[in-house]
A = this chain, B = another copy of it.
């Protein structure tokens, strides 16, 4: 392994300046690299964003750490900032490996069709195919084996990693990142079934991806039947997610790996969907909704709700339900004992009655 290695030592005080933080401890501490808190060694700066890792400050071999407000340590000097995740991203730029710079220009092995418009500084790498009438904005990088279909339009400063396929007429905004082997614009899954035979329903709409969206690897986003499947500005989608035809996903949503959203569903803004969840078709999920991992959402969800379970319900009710269900084995015993107790009581009462009758 070749972990990111410092190019030259940087005093901790300079790092604090860079990220707008405050040094607690010796600002002359020399930093030579970055690392995770468990893996760090002498000379490394690390960070704690997740509170569960605060105790590891006592054990880490790092020489310094970037932390959030209110975190203290007797073990190593700290740089205290508002948002350690964000601050550390800047530190990474200082110490991390040389970033890969996409080579500007069209590689001679790329196949570019007729009436294709390429912006300035595009990088069209080896064996890319751009079909007729497509458009690629300035500063965009297309890695090897990317396919841009007929009449598709990719905005400025996008990165499409190796093997991404964008079908005809789909639209990508600016600064969109798409990871390898993701498919944008495959046909929606629609058939008219007559006497058991499935007749394909043409899917002539498109996929529209707005600015600043990032899409993971091996994701599938189907084109609409007509109109569009729409992913709005700033939304982030993880690997192996399925977005069916005619779905709308609002702005700044987060959709974690292996989730599926069925056809024609509308997701609001700032919705967070944890991994392996499923959302049924033709429903509305309000803005600000949060779904726990493996949620199976089967009906509309009002804005701001937190849901979990399958079928999903309010998260606190689901937690209560799950806790109750875990008491069922004990409940079965209790009820059996209670039934025996009642039988004994009845026997006594009936005996009492008959002796009373004996009077």
Q: A: which residues have CB within 8 A of B?
A: 1-4, 34-36, 39, 49-50, 52, 83, 85-86, 88-89, 92-93, 96-97, 99-100, 107, 109, 111, 125-127, 129, 131, 143-145, 147, 149-150, 161-163, 165, 167-169, 171, 177, 179-181, 183, 186-187, 189-192, 194, 196-202, 204-206, 208, 214, 216-220, 222, 224-228, 234, 236, 238-240, 242, 244, 246, 252, 254, 256-258, 260, 262, 270, 275-276, 278, 280, 282, 293-294, 296, 310-311, 320-322, 324-329, 331-332, 334-335, 338-339, 341-342, 345-346, 348-349, 352-353, 355-356
Q: Is the CB of B191 within 8 A of A4?
A: no
CA distance A201 to B100 in the complex (A): 16
CA distance A189 to B342 in the complex (A): 57
The contact of A181 among B35, B183, B187, by CB within 8 Å, is B183
Known: A100-B149, A198-B234. A332 touches B339 (CB 8 A): no
Cβ contacts under 8 Å, A161 to chain B? 165, 167, 186
CA distance A240 to B143 in the complex (A): 22
Q: Is the CB of B89 within 8 A of A202?
A: yes
CA distance A225 to B197 in the complex (A): 31
Secondary structure at the A interface, as helix, strand, loop or mixed, is loop
CA distance A10 to B226 in the complex (A): 19
Nearest 3 CB-CB pairs, A to B?
A: A85-B192, A86-B192, A96-B204
Cβ contacts under 8 Å, A100 to chain B? 149-150, 168
Cβ contacts under 8 Å, A93 to chain B? 202
What is the count of identical protomers in the complex? Answer: 3
Q: What are 19 A-B interface contacts by the 8 Å CB criterion?
A: A35-B226, A83-B194, A99-B204, A100-B149, A100-B168, A107-B111, A111-B126, A145-B165, A147-B163, A147-B180, A180-B183, A189-B216, A196-B252, A198-B254, A218-B220, A240-B240, A260-B275, A321-B326, A325-B325
Task: For the A-B complex with A163-B163, A189-B238 known, give 7 more contacts whose Cβ atoms are closer than 8 Å.
Answer: A4-B226, A167-B180, A180-B183, A183-B218, A197-B252, A220-B239, A260-B275
Q: Is the CB of A3 within 8 A of B226?
A: yes
Residue of B nearest to A208 (CB): B1
Q: Is the CB of A257 within 8 A of B260?
A: yes
Q: Is the CB of B220 within 8 A of A220?
A: no
Residue of B nearest to A280 (CB): B293
Cβ contacts under 8 Å, A149 to chain B? 100, 162
Known: A246-B36, A352-B353, A353-B352. A200 touches B171 (CB 8 A): no
Known: A327-B332, A331-B335, A338-B338. A50 touches B86 (CB 8 A): no
Q: Is the CB of A89 within 8 A of B199?
A: yes
Cβ contacts under 8 Å, A194 to chain B? 83, 86
Q: Is the CB of A1 within 8 A of B171?
A: yes
Q: Is the CB of A342 within 8 A of B338?
A: yes
